[in-house]
Amino acid sequence: MGPEEDKGVDSKAAGGLGFYEKILTLLDLIKFPHTIFSVPFAVMSAFLAADGMPTLKQLVLILAALVMARSCAMGFNRLADFQYDATNPRTRKWTVMQMELGRSTLWAFTLSCALLFVVFAAALNTLTLYLSPVALAVVMLYSYTKRLSSASHFILGLALALAPLGAWVAIRASFDVAPCLLAAAVLLWTAGFDVIYSCQDVEHDTRVGLHSIPKMLGIRNALRVSLTLHVLMVVILLLLTRYADLGNVYLLGVFITAALLFYEHTLVRPDDLSRVNVAFFTVNGLISMALMAFTLIDIFIS
């Protein structure tokens, strides 16, 4: 969309939404509740890195940085994908919301979130500050990967995997095996559920030339790939016990995670995608929260 079109969109939005309506529209546009996918893993990593409770300042800064990074990524994604969202019946409402809000407002929000992310990273330690531009590059450039490769699901996974890695670095100012394993688990988990979610868009992606595993392999085989990724996630979560002081309560959390993943895959069939949203949001939200709860309990009772 060029400058003339931007002006048209903004003029159409002018005088439309009040301040609080803009806030609510922004939160809806960036799917703010989906932050629940990455926050629990950042919290898990922070507590593991601290061998218990991090300081309140560290925890607040980690969560604030994570929220800003994700908000920046989602705002940028809506801006970058405007032309594609407009041609997809499932996502057309996002372009309508952008027009109501005004693209200049969305740009201002996105850039403000990026700046605040860097500020919060700097307040944690020097290494998080130095790595903040790398993190922003990953979470923002993901938006263009679907134009280039079916591996876009894994780039999205990498973007969410930065949450546990960043939280560990925020506490210890270094890397270790444990956060890398947790990040790998998040990457596989995210890629797996994104493959399921993308099954809804095969026809659209084929029509406009976007790439995805469901488009490349077909829905049936894509669901098999998703299941394989989730099995590997569980294996890595089990392997984590070798590098972190985690015991039976954590293992119970991994077992519940495996059961929820199995349930997720029973909800979606190649000939019935009607329950994709339940599989995507509800079940995965439960997975992240349950695994965090059992991990924290294990840390405090061990």
Return the HEC string of 86-100.
Answer: CCCCCCHHHHHHHHH
Two tokens, residue 33? 């509740």
Strand partners, 269: 272
Q: What is the pLDDT of residues 162-221, one digit of tens each?
A: 999 999 999 999 999 999 999 999 999 999 999 999 999 999 999 999 999 999 999 999
Nearest Cα residue to 126 out of 84, 162, 189, 172: 172
Helix axes 126-145, 56-80, angle to 10 degrees: 30
Compute and round to an integer the Cα radius of gyration of the chain: 20
% of the chain beyond a pLDDT of 70? 95
State percent of the chain over pLDDT 90.
Answer: 81
Confidence of residue 16 (pLDDT cuts 50, 70, 90): low
At residue 278, the pLDDT reads 80
C-alpha of 162 from chain center: 10
User: How far apart, in whole angstroms, are the C-alpha atoms of residue 114 and residue 300?
Assistant: 34
Q: How far apart are CA 205 and CA 199, in angstroms?
A: 10
Q: Which two tokens stand for residue 299?
A: 């840390």
Say whether pLDDT at 11 is over 60. Answer: no
Q: How many CB atoms lie within 10 A of CB 256?
A: 16
Domains and CATH numbers, the chain: 3-301 (1.10.357.140)
Task: Give per-residue pLDDT as tens, 108-148.
Answer: 999 999 999 999 999 999 999 999 999 999 999 999 999 99
Ranking 38-52, 134-148, 267-281 by mean pLDDT, the lowest is 267-281
- Burial readout 177-202 (b: 16 or more C-beta within 10 A, e: otherwise): ebbbbbbbbbbbbbbbbbbbbbbbbb
Decide if pLDDT at 13 tops 50.
no
Kind and range of the H or E run holding 175: none
Indicate the pTM of the whole model. Answer: 0.91
Q: Is the pLDDT of residue 50 over 70?
A: yes
Separation of alpha carbons 207 and 177, rounded Å: 43
Rounded to the nearest integer, the mean pLDDT of the chain is 92
